[in-house]
Amino acid sequence: MNSLKFKYSKRHRQWSQVVASIAVCVLAALAIHGAGLLSIGTLSSPEEGFVPLIEAGMLAVGGIVLLIRALTQTTEPRIYWPRGDSRRMVVHLAVGLFGYALLLPPLGFTVATFLFLVVAISAWRKYAWWIVALYALSIAITLHLIFSVALSMSLPVGWWANYQLGL
Amino acid sequence: MDTLHNLLGGFAVALQPEMLMYCFIGSLIGTLVGVLPGLGPAAAMAILIPFATGLSPTAAIIMLAAIYYGAMYGGSTTSILLNIPGESASVVTCIDGYEMARQGKAGIALGIAAISSFVAGTLGLFGLIFMAPILVDVALKFGPPEYFALLLLGLTVAVSLAGESLVKGLVAAIVGLLIAAIGIDPQSGIARYTFGTVNMMGGFDVIVVVIGLFAVAEVFVNAESPAFQILQTKIGKLWPSFDDFRRSSGAIGRGSFVGFILGLIPGVSPAVVTFVSYDIEKRISKESEMFGKGAIEGVAAPEGANNACTSAGMVPLFTLGLPTSASLAVLLSALMIHGLQPGPMLFTQQKELVWGVIASMYVGNVMLLILNLPLIPLWVKLLKVPYPILGPLILVICVIAAYGVRSNTFDIWVMLGFGVIGYLMRKLNFPTIPLILALILGDKLENALRQSLTISDGSFIIFLTHPISAGFLAIATVATLWSLYIRYRK
């Protein structure tokens, strides 16, 4: 924390809270719409849409209150959004995880894990490329041996293996 | 007499070699989880549930419960050695524990933390053993209105206590309730909020959501910060002196009492309990100026409180089916996955499991006391694993666990989505615990409400005409008003 500066501004804080409040209101609107498609029933015989409609309505009220507070209040705690390297690391990991989920079915667990670990470990820019590859390979193989072999867990094997197995 | 008989039966279960093994594994994993900053017991339990589905229900619950209270033991290690709490419940231990380490008394601090945890855990178990049967008798009189009011009370208190903003807590809880509504309505069989997709018919699995919100989000948060450095100090002797024991004994007793009483209340997490216990200890101490400068009572009291709190949390979980924290909410999910319904019927229909788990908690406490101190050098070595390796490894294990729930890559996407949501919630000061509690209790709450309205022919007065229900609603109202008052004063 001490080597990285977080820039705080009142306008930035309100923007984050405003966007969050609007997101809650949008979610509430969608929930109300979804509940409206269901049968509400009556008070003495509530059906599947009854409780979701109440919940969505309460969410809408909560969202509006948050929006008003975000636009008018000045005592909300500070929000520290990461900047520079910190932001890069979080985005790097999130995108890496996204790619991992995409590649798991076609490539299978071991290969996809190896690739993800290469991407994720290199996010810290701490090790040379060959050390990263070595760590990634050894961890991927170890995890394969523990989960797929020792614990007999059913993990994705990849399209090529499925093709070979005739699946 | 009946209680004693049941307890002896429980020990007969807990002392079986298989159960001892799983208790040991859970205690070890729990301590490891507690030691490693960035992975809490809720996330660890959620990750392990898919792997525990092949075990018997008793073995699975014994192991998962051991992870929960094991984490309380482990969290103090990093608090004392690194000034970084391994668990939220170990934050307060940093204050005096780290100071003691800087004064060359790291070993004594670690020793008294372990002993305090053991004594408080044992006292908490006695409380659990004697209170649980009484609450079961009361709970057997509950109908739908009482259950609705009780669950609402639990959610309300959790919302009131979580985070600085009541509105944000309420929004988080309602989002949790709406997520719980996704899937097939159990009463009518109609699909809700599924967008016509097959994957959504089963709703979002609680375990996957917890892994995303707690474990994945935590890795993202930790990725922002630079790596920490281990305190380069000798651990020294671990066994406290007679004077250390004399000064700590009162703090341990008071911490245990405070921890147990507060731990019965839904929404009061071990973290809150430790702060209250520390504050009480400081106020009544004749040497209050020593607090913050290495007072041994400042380590003994909060460590005792958090362990007593974990035992206390089992009382409403087993007797009423009401979890008081995120970790216990995950344990509730585990019980339901194994086809068990927590509540008064569990005590009558699954005596062996319930008393086996209670007895195993005592056995686990003994194991942890014996293991913790000698294994401290090992935990210190593990802390040297660089986070660039540990963080991605945690993410891979999360993916494996999420996939293992239903062998469906859809759950990995859900986990990732909630990981991002959890990260944003942390940044924007939205509490996550109300969301998890609401997600787990949502179905029950809705069923109880609908049944109550059907019974009363649409009248909400039923919740006031039933005395127990009215009592719960009154407490919920008072808790909310008190919370508003405290925030208004601030």
- Considering only the beta carbons, identify the residue of B177, B395, B428 that sits closest to A16: B428
Determine whether the interchain pair B429/A76 forms a contact, defined as Cβ–Cβ distance below 8 Å.
yes
Query: Does the beta carbon of B118 lie under 8 angstroms from any beta carbon of chain A?
Result: no
User: Which range, A135-144, B95-104, B187-196, B205-214, is most confident?
Assistant: A135-144
Query: Does the beta carbon of A97 lie under 8 angstroms from any beta carbon of chain B?
Result: yes
Query: Nearest-CA distance from A95 to chain B in Å?
Result: 10
Confidence of residue B414 (pLDDT cuts 50, 70, 90): very high
State the residue range of the domain holding B381.
Answer: 2-489
Contact assessment for residue B52 and residue B334, using Cβ atoms and an 8 Å cutoff: yes
**Which of A17-31, A49-63, B76-90 is least confident?**
B76-90
Closest Cα to residue B176, out of B429, B444, B439, B426?
Answer: B439
Q: What is the pLDDT of residues B327-347, one digit of tens each?
A: 888 888 888 888 888 877 787
Judged by DSSP in three states, B160 sits in helix
Judged by DSSP in three states, B166 sits in helix
The stretch A66-70 carries a mean pLDDT of 91
Q: Searching chain B, which residue's CA lies closest to the CA of residue A20?
A: B428
Residue bearing the bigger pLDDT, B266 or B442: B442
What ipTM score was computed for the predicted complex, to two decimals? 0.88
Contact assessment for residue B105 and residue B236, using Cβ atoms and an 8 Å cutoff: yes
The overall average pLDDT reported for chain B is 85
Contact assessment for residue B302 and residue B92, using Cβ atoms and an 8 Å cutoff: yes
Determine whether the interchain pair B192/A16 forms a contact, defined as Cβ–Cβ distance below 8 Å.
no
The stretch B310-318 carries a mean pLDDT of 87
Determine whether the interchain pair B192/A55 forms a contact, defined as Cβ–Cβ distance below 8 Å.
no
Domain positions in chain A are: 10-72, 85-163
Alpha carbon distance B292, B298 (integer Å): 8
Q: What is the pLDDT of residues B140-190, one digit of tens each?
A: 788 899 989 988 988 888 888 777 788 999 999 999 999 999 998 888 888
Confidence of residue B410 (pLDDT cuts 50, 70, 90): very high
Contacts of A98 in chain B (CB under 8 A): 416
Number of domains in chain B: 1
Q: What is the pLDDT of residues B378-389, one digit of tens each?
A: 877 777 778 888
- Considering only the beta carbons, identify the residue of A94, A101, A121 that sits closest to B413: A101
Alpha carbon distance A31, B382 (integer Å): 46
Question: Within 10 A of A27 (CB to CB), how many other CB atoms are there?
Answer: 18
pLDDT at residue B236, as a whole number:
67
pLDDT at residue B415, as a whole number:
94
The stretch B228-235 carries a mean pLDDT of 54
Residue bearing the bigger pLDDT, A76 or B370: B370
Determine whether the interchain pair B51/A151 forms a contact, defined as Cβ–Cβ distance below 8 Å.
yes
The stretch A48-55 carries a mean pLDDT of 94
Query: Does the beta carbon of B487 lie under 8 angstroms from any beta carbon of chain A?
Result: no
pLDDT at residue A35, as a whole number:
93
Determine whether the interchain pair B392/A63 forms a contact, defined as Cβ–Cβ distance below 8 Å.
no
Q: What percent of chain B has pLDDT over 70?
A: 96
Residue bearing the bigger pLDDT, A98 or B87: A98
Q: Is the dihedral of CA A109, A112, A118, A119 positive or negative?
A: negative
- Considering only the beta carbons, identify the residue of A51, A80, A116 that sits closest to B450: A51
pLDDT at position A141 over 60? yes
Contacts of A44 in chain B (CB under 8 A): 453-454, 456-458
**Model's pTM, two decimal places?**
0.82
Task: Give the angle B293-B297-B303 at the CA atoms, nearest 5°.
Answer: 110
